[in-house]
């Protein structure tokens, strides 16, 4: 039962990482379009006050998205295996 709870928590974290990854990619894409159209430099400020350009935000978004996908697959398989093993 404890293992199932851990896999469920990992699954929730993976969904959060997927959503944040999509958000960062979308935000960075829009920042790149605005920079190109308006000829200005935009900066995104993170939670801890770290400034990042559109390209850095895009890279962080891709990393979060891939990490979320891997964690999602692993946790989902762990949930299925744990349920089948307990029967």
Cα dihedral 18, 20, 22, 24 in deg (nearest 10):
-150
The pLDDT value given to residue 48:
84
The count of domains in the chain is 1
Question: What is the rounded average pLDDT of the residues 9-28?
Answer: 95
The pLDDT value given to residue 87:
73
For the stretch 34-51, pLDDT in tens is 999 998 999 988 778 889
The pLDDT value given to residue 36:
92
Report residue 2 as tokens: 């404890």
Cα dihedral 53, 57, 59, 64 in deg (nearest 10):
160
Q: How far apart, in whole angstroms, are the C-alpha atoms of residue 72 and residue 12?
A: 8
The domain in which residue 74 lies consists of 2-86
């Amino acid at each position: 039962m404890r293992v199932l709870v851990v896999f469920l928590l990992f699954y929730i974290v993976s969904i959060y990482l997927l959503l944040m990854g999509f958000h960062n990619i979308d935000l960075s894409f829009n920042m790149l379009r605005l920079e190109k159209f308006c000829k200005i430099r935009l900066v995104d400020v993170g939670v801890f006050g770290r400034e990042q350009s559109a390209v850095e935000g895009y890279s962080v978004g891709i990393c979060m998205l891939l990490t979320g996908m891997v964690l999602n697959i692993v946790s989902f398989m762990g949930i299925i295996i744990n349920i089948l093993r307990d029967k």
